[in-house]
Amino acid sequence: MNTLTIADKRLTYLRTGSGAPLVLVHGFPLDHSIWEPVVPFLTDDFDLILPDLPGFGGSDSPGPDPDIETYAHALADLLSALGLTQAFLAGHSMGGYVALAFARLYPSRLRGLALVASQPLADTPERKSGRYETAAQVALHGAGVVAEAMVPKLSADPAHGPILNELILRQRPEGIIGGLRAMAGRPDSSSLLASLTVPLVLIHGQADALIPVERAREAAQSTPHAVLVELPAVGHMPMMESPEKTAAALKLLIGA
């Protein structure tokens, strides 16, 4: 892992491969390691950058009340520190919400976007209040609350359960709470997505129990130039459940 310190905050990331810069942004409440299974399939085509979002993995917390833009700014700062003016972004779930915020804030720095098990919609009022309730529970009881609720819904392959459980339990409560609050406050990005002119790929498991595949189909319908890749029998973790096909879909960003 590499570490950069930006504005007194440590940001950890992995960098490997050569080619077009592609940032793989993990979802909630995980870290860069979820992407490791796809790395061997992508290193010939991409300069891969796998950050830990602020508050997750080895990266310092972003401060008391981050919004989704906070994480997008951190990605922009990371790219600048690496001397990259532009990059492709692939965002998994919450990482997709961050990538959409990046697209809104830094349109000229985005070469292409993949949403992996993600969606452009904002939270419903019920989902929002559920997130605040979960944040309160995590403050009281720690990461176990989220692990218990999420692990059974993450991967369609039960073999991933223990790995994901351990990964969530390693995350710090303040990072989890920050992520929950940021997701709750994120804006709807449907029209933003439809307005993007860069290459767009939507990758979604047909057995996703957290964000149903219908969300990706709807996004594809209102974004005609997006390519939708559906993965049969795959849940919310395509990069772990079907790494080769996920990597092949990511290569569509560069027409490979």
What does the binding site for ligand MLT look like in residue numbers (CB under 6 A)?
27-28, 93-94, 183, 210
What is the length of the chain? 256
User: In whole angstroms, how close is the CB of 70 to ligand MLT at the nearest point?
Assistant: 15
How many other CB atoms sit within 10 Å of the CB of residue 252?
Answer: 16
Least distance CB 214 / ligand MLT (angstroms) = 15
The CA-atom distances, in angstroms, between 154 and each of 62, 109, 123, 161, 231 are 25, 31, 19, 8, 15
Shortest CB 8 distance to ligand MLT, Å: 27
Cβ closest to ligand MLT, residue 150 vs residue 226? 150
Q: Which is nearer to ligand MLT, 39 or 98 (CB)?
A: 98
Give the integer Cα–Cα distance in Å for 173 and 183.
Answer: 15
Nearer of residues 203 and 251 to ligand MLT, judged by Cβ: 203
**Whole-number minimum distance, CB 223 to ligand MLT, in Å?**
19
CA-CA distance, 186 to 44, in Å (whole number)? Answer: 35
* Cα–Cα distance list, 188 to 8, 57, 191, 208, 226 (Å): 31, 27, 8, 21, 18
* The pair of three-digit structure tokens given for residue 85, joined into one six-digit string: 């003016």
Minimum distance from residue 202 beta carbon to ligand MLT (Å): 15
Of 94 and 229, the one with the shorter C-beta distance to ligand MLT is 94
The alpha-carbon radius of gyration of the chain (Å, integer) is 16
Nearer to ligand MLT, 94 or 113 (CB): 94
